A and B are shown apart, each in its own frame.
Chain A
Amino acid sequence: MSNIPSELKYTKSHEWVRIEGDGTATVGISDHAQTLLGDMVFVELPEPGAALEAGEECAVVESVKAASDVYTPLSGKVVAANELLEDAPETVNTDAYNDGWLFRIRLEDEAELKELLDAEAYAELVAEEDH
C-alpha cells in the first residue's frame, strides 16, 4: 500500500504538490510512482528561472529500466531545483515527499490548483491502476 500524505495535492500523472503559502509550490513524484520506476539512477531538473506552463514536460526521472517524464502541474517560474538529487537520485526512492522533492515553482494562476486531486481521489486512482 503506498504512502499518500493527506496534506498534499496530486495529479493523474503521479506528481505531488505542496502549497507553501508564500506564493510558491513544491513538486515531486509520488511514492507510488517511485515504486513503479524502481531504483532511481538520475534525475534531470528544470533550470531555475525557466518559465513553465501547466502540463509541460520539465523533468525526467530515470531508473535502470525506465525513464519517465515529469509534467509540471502548475504554470509559473521555477524558483528552485533540488540539487541534492544530482549526487543522490536515490533520495526520490527513500524520501519521495520530503528530501526527494524535484522543484519549486512560483504560482501564476491560483485557479489551476482546483484541477489537482486530493489525497482521497489520488488513492482511488492508484487502487484502480493496481487492478
Chain B
Amino acid sequence: MPFIPHTEGDTRAMLATCGVDSLEDLFDEIPPELRANALDGIPAGCDELAVSQLLHARAAQNAQPLCFSGAGAYEHHIPAAVWEITSRGEYYSAYTPYQAEASQGTLQLLYEFQTMVAELTAMAVANASLYDGATALAEAVLMAVRANRKSKSRRILMPRTVHPRYRDVVETIVRHQGIELTRLDYDTAGGHIDPTSLPTEPGDVTALVIPQPNFFGALEDADTLTDWAHAHGALVIGVVNPTAMAVINPPGEWGGAGADIVCGEGQPLGIPLASGGPYFGFMCCKQKIVRQMPGRIIGATVDLEGKRGYVLTLQAREQHIRRSKATSNICTNQGLMTTAATIYMAVMGSAGLENVARQCHANTRALIKQLSAIDGVETVFDRPTFHETVLRLPRPVNGVLEELAGHGILGGVDLARDYPELGHALLVCATETRSEADLDAYAVALREVLA
C-alpha cells in the first residue's frame, strides 16, 4: 500500500469510530450490480527501485540526436537554478492560490511573471498563463470576438504563416461558436503576409492574427499589418516568440496603436522540450479590454493593516462564478511552468535574454550559410528571419531526415505535408546550444546524404 500510512491498529480504530466493521461497509451505498471485478489489465504494484529501473531503460530508448528542429519548441540552455528552485515542495505541491494569505509565494511570483511578460511584449497587462501557445491563440480569438463589440461578423483573418498545428487547435476549439476563420495566403517570395495583397475593402473583420516571427522564421511587416487592421475596425492578435522579443520590435509597439491581444508559447523561457509538454501559453492585452481576458489574473492589494499583498482578481469572469457565461471554461494555469519561466527571466535578465537571442540568430545564420553552400540546397524566402529558416533540398525531405538520423542528427522539420507547394522544404534552426562543431557535423552529414 504505497503512501498509505495506516497501521492495522489505526484502521481498526477508525472503522470503529465510523461504526462499521470493514472497509467494504463504507461502500454500501453503491448498488451491488455496479461493483467492478478485479482490475485485470493493471499489473501488480512495484517498488520505487523496480519502477526506476524500467523508466531508466525507457528513457535510454529515446535517442538523443543533435537537435536542429524548432517549429515552436526550442532547445535552450536552462540555468541549473531554475528547476532547483521550481522543484521545491512549496511550489511543486501547492494548489491554486484560492486562500491568498497562505499562498503569497505563488501569488507574488505570478504578479512578477505578469509584469515580466508584459515587459517582454510591451503590453499593458498579462494573465498568469494558459495551457500552451496553441490554446492561447484559440483563447485570443475568442477574446477578440468578445472585445470587438463593434464588429458583428465574428470573422478572423488567420494567415497560413501561423504554425499549422496552432491553426488546427484554434479550429477545434472555436468551431462551435459561429466564428469564421478566413485563411490568408502568404507571399511565396518573402514567406510573409504581403501587406499590399490585403483587400482595400475587406468588409467587417473582427481580428487579424499576426505571427512574429512567423512559422517559417520570417519577420512579418507587423507595423503595416497592424495599421491596416485598425483602419478597418479589426483588432490585432500577435503571436510571438518570447526569445525573439529581446531583439525584435514588440507587439505593444506595432504600428500606430500596437497590438490589442498578444499570445505565444512560453516554452523557450526555461521549459525543457520534454516531448511537447508541459509548456505554457502566455497572454497579454491592452488595459481597456482586460475584463475580456480569460484565465487567472493576479492583482496587488493591501491587507487589514495596509500591508501589500496579492490575490486572484477579476474572478467574476471565471467559470466557478460565471458558470455558463464565463469567458472560458479554463480553471487552471500552468503554475509550475510559469514558476520556472519567472525564475528563468530573473536569472537571465534582459541582457542575458538578448545575448541568447543574438547567439541563436547567429548560429542559425552560420548554419544556413554552411548548408546552402551544398549543391542543390538553397534558402526559400528572401525576407529577414529570426533564428529559423526554410531551406529547399534537391530531394524529398522525409528520406533525407531519416538518413540524417542515422548520423545522430535531428535535421529539422519536413514541411511537405503542410506546405506541399514549397517542394522539398525543410525548416531548420540552431539555438545557442549548438556549437560550431555541431554545425560542421550537420553540414558534413548533409553533404554526405545528398551526395
- Partner-B contacts on A (CB < 8 A): 41-42, 44, 47, 62-67, 69
Chain B residues whose C-beta falls within 8 Å of the C-beta of A65 in the assembled complex: 316, 321
B316 neighbours in A (Cβ, 8 Å)? 41-42, 62-67
Q: Which residues of B contact A64 (CB under 8 A)?
A: 315-316
CB distance from A41 to the nearest CB of B (A): 8
Which residues on B are within 8 Å of A, measured CB to CB?
Answer: 149, 291, 315-317, 321-322, 325
Chain A proximity of B289: nearest CB distance (Å): 12
Do B322 and A42 touch across chains, with their CB atoms under 8 A apart? no
Contact A67 B291 (CB under 8 A): no
Q: A42-B291, A42-B316, A62-B316 are in contact. Are A67 and B321 (CB under 8 A)?
A: yes
Minimum CB–CB distance for A95 against chain B, Å? 22
User: Chain B contact residues: over half helix, strand or loop, or mixed?
Assistant: helix
C-alpha gap A41/B321 in the complex (Å) = 14
Chain A interface SS verdict (over half) = strand
Pairs A-B, 10 closest by C-beta atoms: A67-B316, A62-B316, A67-B322, A67-B321, A66-B321, A66-B316, A42-B291, A65-B321, A63-B316, A64-B315
Residues of B within 8 A of A67 (CB): 316-317, 321-322, 325
Task: Show 5 A/B contacts (Cβ-Cβ < 8 Å), sorted by A.
Answer: A41-B316, A42-B291, A63-B316, A64-B315, A67-B322
Closest to B311 in A: A64
- Inter-chain CA distance A41–B149, complex, in Å, is 21
Chain A contacts for B317, CB-based, 8 A: 67
In the bound complex, how far is the Cα of B315 from the Cα of A67, in angstroms? 9
A67–B325 Cα distance when bound, in Å, is 10
Please report the C-alpha to C-alpha distance between residue A42 and residue B317 in the assembled complex, in whole angstroms: 11
Q: How far is the CA of A65 from the CA of B312 in the complex (A)?
A: 12
In the complex, number of A-B residue pairs with CB atoms less than 8 Å apart: 19
Chain A nearest CB, measured from B376 CB (Å): 61
Given contacts A63-B316, A66-B321, A67-B316, 8 further A-B contacts (CB under 8 A): A42-B291, A47-B149, A62-B316, A65-B316, A65-B321, A66-B316, A67-B317, A67-B321
Residue of A nearest to B316 (CB): A67
B46 to chain A, nearest CB (A): 47
Nearest B residue to A63 via CB reads B316
Give Cα A66 to B321, complex, Å.
6
Distance from B314 Cβ to chain A, minimum over Cβ atoms (Å): 8
Instruction: Determine the chain A residues whose CB is within 8 A of the CB of B321 once the complex forms.
Output: 65-67
Q: How far is the CA of A69 from the CA of B321 in the complex (A)?
A: 12
The CA of A66 and the CA of B322, in the complex, are separated in Å by 7
A40 CB to closest chain B CB (Å) equals 11
* Interfacial chain A residues near B315, Cβ < 8 Å: 64
- State A67–B324 Cα separation when bound (angstroms): 12
B-side contacts of A41, CB under 8 Å: 316
In the assembled complex, the Cα of A64 lies from the Cα of B321 at a distance in Å of 10
B319 nearest CB across to chain A (Å): 11
Query: CA separation between A62 and B318, bound complex, in Å?
Result: 12
- CA of A69 to CA of B322, assembled, Å: 10
Distance to closest chain B CB from A96 (angstroms): 19
A90 to B178, CA, bound (A): 36
Query: How far in angstroms is the closest Cβ of chain A from B182?
Result: 26
- CA A47 – CA B322 in complex, angstroms? 22
Cα of A64 to Cα of B316 in the assembled complex, Å: 6
Contacts of B325 in A (CB 8 A): 67, 69
Measured in the bound complex, the distance between the Cα atoms of B244 and A40 in whole Å is 41
Q: Kindly report which residue of chain A lies nearest to residue B322, judged by CB atoms.
A: A67
Q: Smallest distance from the beta carbon of A59 to chain B beta carbons, Å?
A: 13
Of the candidates B149, B316, B317, B321, the one having the most CB atoms from chain A within 10 angstroms of its own CB is B316
CB distance from B216 to the nearest CB of A (A): 41
Q: What is the CA–CA distance of A86 and B211 in the complex, to the nearest angstrom? A: 34
Question: Whole-angstrom distance between the alpha carbons of A110 and B444 in the complex?
Answer: 85
Most-contacted residue by chain B among A41, A62, A63 (CB, 10 A): A62
Q: A50 — nearest CB in chain B belongs to which residue? A: B149
Bound-complex Cα distance A123 to B52 (A): 69
Instruction: Give Cα distance in the complex from A47 to B316, angstroms.
Output: 21
Give Cα A42–Cα B253 distance, bound, in whole angstroms. 29
Closest-CB distance, B432 to chain A (whole angstroms): 45
A63–B317 Cα distance when bound, in Å, is: 11
How far, in whole Å, are A67 and B322 apart by their CA atoms in the complex? Answer: 6
